Structure formats: structure tokens, C-alpha cells
Structure 1
Amino acid sequence: MIRKFLALLLLATFVLSSLPLDAQSRRRRNATPPAPAFQAEKFQALQWRNIGPFRGGRSNAVTGVPGDPLTYFFGSTGGGLWKTTDGGLNWANCSDGFFQTGSVGAIAVAPSDPNVLYVGMGEHAVRGVMTSAGDGIYKSTDGGRTWKQSGLPASRHISAIRIHPTNPDLVYVAVQGALYGPSTDRGVYRSTDGGQNWMRVHFVDDHTGAADLSMDPNNPRILYAGMWDHQRYPWKVRSGGPGSGIWKSTDGGESWKQLKNGLPEAMGKVAVDVSPANSMRVYANIEAEKGGVYRSDDGGESWKQVNSQRVTVARAWYYIEIFADPQDA
């Protein structure tokens, strides 16, 4: 009897003691393996390819969503706004039924709230043939599912939108303005209430619009504006004039200073971008007789040409763009 009791006791002890080990074994088998380390060399052979949509036409505006590598928006010059949530494998229009015009010039997602988007209408690339105008700003607060018109209906062509890094209601817009004649609606505009009201904070003249706008993410009170003196005629495009140039504000747009030291005297279209990795380094792509890529290492006080290849300014109305690497100044 005692032997039988001891045998049962040993069996129970063995079973009970093996349960945690078995559970641990199952947890080890079911555990998610650690993600492999990123190896840049494996991606060097990859080639860029078109990921759609098929026959999408020209696009002058595209943006991603901070923190989400699979979600992007692009604006076409005649088909509205499109969105992908799978890295470009599939695209869906998200502006039909909301936008009154189809030409998109600029898109921005609020860095502090990915549900807040602003879209500026009217392509900013002045073509030799048709260039479609827009009807101002549209805003979404639900990630692009629904939209409301949000002012600046007479802007015609919008080049850039910059949103404060921590305040989605503080927005700056570069308005290029009408193509075929003078317009007092050109310049840089600011809203402090999420697009309900707009104030023009920078204006050069009625022939000079804002072709680009850059905000220092490390100090969002610092702004750089690329201004473009231009006009479209039935037989040509006039690009350049006394109004073209680069301007800087250090007080959130309240006042502006023109930057000249080291830059060409006569300019056409101008693109400008401040480095997120080094606020003192600013890049500009300038259409001019001595045009090309210019760089400032002192916050715009002085400039030097770092690339004079004509390819950087070829077909300037299309391709005058520049973007600073966010990590490598």
C-alpha cells in the first residue's frame, strides 16, 4: 500500500513539475523572432519602377505619412488626390465628391497628427501648353476620407504647404497665383486656426508668386521662400524678373529679409530647402544664367554654387525642385 502511494506521489510530482517546462517550451516555439537588422547593401541593386496608377498622368505633389512607411498621397494635375496604404501596390482616389477642381499643386500631412492633411489646388509647373488652375485649400481631419474647402479660393496655383511640427493648426502656404496676368493674391499666407482664416505675410509684387517654401523643423519660426517673377503668354512663358529671389523670416512670417550674398543677380524660378540635420545649411536650385545648385552654411547669409550642371535647371518650370536629406546635411 505504501509502495503504491509513493509511486502515485512520484508520478504526480513528475507531471506537475513538467508543466511549466512544457509551457515555456510552447512559448519559445510561438515567440516572434527578432526582426533582422537592416542591411543597406542588399538594397543597392534595386531599380526604381513605376508603381501606378496606370496612366496616372503628371504629378507635381506627393507626400508620405510620418511613422507609416506604407501610406502615401499623390496629387495629379487633372485627376485629384490618390492614396495608397500598401506602399504603392494599390491606389484609390480620395478626393472625388469633395474637390471642385482636379489639379493638385501641393500636399502636406501634419507631423503631429497624421489625420490632418492640407491640399493646395492648381499645379505649380507652368507648362508650354495647358496648365490647370485650382480653387484654394482643402483640409481633411480623418486621414483623407472626407474633405472641406478651407479658403484661398483665388490662389489659382499653390506651390507648397508647410505645417508646424507640433501644431497642426499653424499652416503656411506658398501661393504662386494667376499665370496670365498680374495678381494681388500672390505671396506667402499663414493660418493660425487650421485654415479657417488666412493672412498674407509676404508679398513682393503682383507679378511675383511664391514658388517654394521651406520651414526649419528645428525652429519653425524660421522660413525660407523662393519667389518667382513670371507670366504666361499665349506664345511663351516669361520666367524671371526683378521680383525673383530668396527671402528669409526668423519670426514666423512677421517680417522678411531678401538674401543676396553669393546668389545670381538675375533669377527665374527658385526652389529652396533647409536641412533638417543642420539648420545652418540651406540648399537652393536656381534658374539663372549662372544657375544650378547653391548652398549656404550660415543660415542664408552667404551662398556658393556647388553644382553648375545645366541638367539641374533644364525645363525649369517643371524640374526646379530641391530636397535636403533629413539625416545627412
Structure 2
Amino acid sequence: MLQGSDLFAIEDGTLTEIALPATDQGAQPTSMARGADGSIYVAGPGLGVWRYDSAGESWQSLNDTLPDLGVTAMAAHATQPGTLYAYLGKDGMFRSRDGGAKWVRVDSGPPEPVLAFLHSDMPGSMESGWLFAATTRGVSRSMDCFCFWGDAGDLRGTVSAIGYDPAAPENVYAVIEGQLHHSADGGETWISLKTPQSVTALAFSPSQGLVVGTANGSLLARGGADQWTPVHE
């Protein structure tokens, strides 16, 4: 989970901080994704895309075939370990099917700028899943054949974070101005959820379920309808 300028792995209710890749430019990641095989990726403007090697506790750059390092958001395929997506603003959406060795432009992306996005294996796609993009207008959605980008419901505003439940992929979550929103039907309709603090980040942990980062730096796991408990280091 990327919380501000810190990256955490959440396993069995325990937080482990992971040192971020060091670059000459000092660029910081703005996007994080976990691959279908558990691999951790980060991306950001001036940083490009990097993969974490947990065995060697080191980072590998995956930028050799990207047009530049202006990656503002990235996602990993829900079920295909080697398939990654990167959004480079005006350069559009790029996909790699070999773990980042080769990137190919596949789409221009939604009409509005993308701040974050994810890949979901929610049923109903004509290919292998769906892409949900957090944009400056709301949540945009497309099958991963890149057939068409359309609004995911009528949620409006700048979406700063987006996530979904891998065990029930029709459950999608989005953050607008610190407010957490939930869709139980793949983005068709949305409701607001109560949280103790303004939300700045969100992720799903196999052991904790939905975890949010808050404005005061806390990480909280959702235990029930309005119940949130701290995730301990």
C-alpha cells in the first residue's frame, strides 16, 4: 500500500515498510500495484515503472521500452502475472505482457486525465477483465479489450484513489476529497461510507480486507459496516 511517500506490505495484520527505489532525480511514486503473482510495482512521473525483488530487497527498472518516464498511474492484471498497464498522459495507455520488458501503446485512455487505475477480473468482459480509472471527472470503466471508455455510474469529482475486492470484484471503492465511496455492482451505483478520518489511500489485504490510509497517517482495516481497526506495525 502506498501511503504518501511510504510503501507498506500488509501481511497477516502486520505492516512492513519497503524502501522505495532510489533515483538520480529523486522522483517519488504516485501509483502502486500488486501483480497476480504477488509482485509489487510502483510508478510515478520521472520514475517510470519499477518492480520490487523481495528476495534481494531491491528494485528493477522496467522502463527500457517506454517512450518516457512520465507514468502517472499503473495497474497489474488481476490474473495474468506478466501483464501490466501504464498511463503516460498524452501518450496514452501502454501494456506489457512480459513483466515490463516490452511496452506497447494500446489506447489513448479516458477523455479526462487518469490519476490512478486498476485491473479487475469482474465478469462480463469480452476479453479477460475490466479497467477502472480514477479521473478528474469521476470513475471511468472499460473492458480490457479497450473497446470503449464510459462513466462508471454518476459519481462525480476528482478521484484520488481507487480499489476493488479481489474476492468479490463487483465491489469497487473510490475516494473523492477524502470521502470513501463504495459500489457493489461494478460501478453502476455508489454510496458513501463513514470513516474516522479523511481517506488518502486504499488497498486490499488478503488477511485484512479493505485497508485505508488516512490524513493523519493511520492505516485502518474495515471490520464491519462502520467499524475500523488500526493495522499494526
**Aligned partner of 1:58 among 17, 23, 28:** 28
SS at match of 2:72: strand
User: Is 2:182 the counterpart of 1:248?
Assistant: yes
Write 1 or 2 for the structure with the bigger share of helix. 1
**Aligned partner of 2:151 among 181, 200, 208:** 200
Where does residue 240 of structure 1 map in the other structure?
none
Give 2:145's aligned amino acid.
Answer: G
**CA shift digits 1:221-268 (9 cap, x unpaired):** 11121122xxxxxxxxxxxxxxx41111111222112223x645xx4x
> TM-score with structure 1 length normalisation?
0.52
Where does residue 10 of structure 2 map in the other structure?
none
Alignment of 1:1-329 (within 5 A): 52-55=22-25, 57-63=27-33, 65-67=35-37, 73-82=41-50, 88=58, 91-97=61-67, 102-121=69-88, 136-144=92-100, 145-152=102-109, 154-164=111-121, 169-177=128-136, 186-205=137-156, 208-228=157-177, 244-260=178-194, 263=196, 267=198, 270-277=200-207, 281-287=209-215, 292-298=218-224, 301-304=225-228, 306=229
**Aligned counterparts of 1:254 and 1:103: Cα–Cα separation in 2:** 31
| 1:79–1:95 distance in 2 versus 1, CA, 3 Å | farther
> TM-score with structure 2 length normalisation?
0.69
**Aligned counterparts of 1:136 and 1:91: Cα–Cα separation in 2:** 20
Q: Cα RMSD between the aligned structures?
A: 3.7
Q: Is the 8 A contact 1:171 1:192 kept in 2?
A: yes
Q: Number of matched residues?
A: 212
**Aligned counterparts of 2:183 and 2:91: Cα–Cα separation in 1:** 27
Identity %: 21
Which stretches in structure 1 are left out of the alignment for 5+ residues? 1-46, 123-133, 178-185, 229-243, 308-323
Give 2:180's aligned amino acid.
Answer: I
**Aligned counterparts of 2:81 and 2:218: Cα–Cα separation in 1:** 34
Q: Is the 8 A contact 1:191 1:197 kept in 2?
A: yes
Which stretches in structure 2 are left out of the alignment for 5+ residues? 1-16
Q: Is the 8 A contact 2:211 2:219 kept in 1?
A: yes
Larger Rg: 1
Give 1:192's aligned amino acid.
Answer: M
Q: Is the 8 A contact 1:164 1:170 kept in 2?
A: yes
**CA shift digits 1:106-137 (9 cap, x unpaired):** 22221322232211345xxxxxxxxxxx5543
Write 1 or 2 for the structure with the bigger share of strand. 2
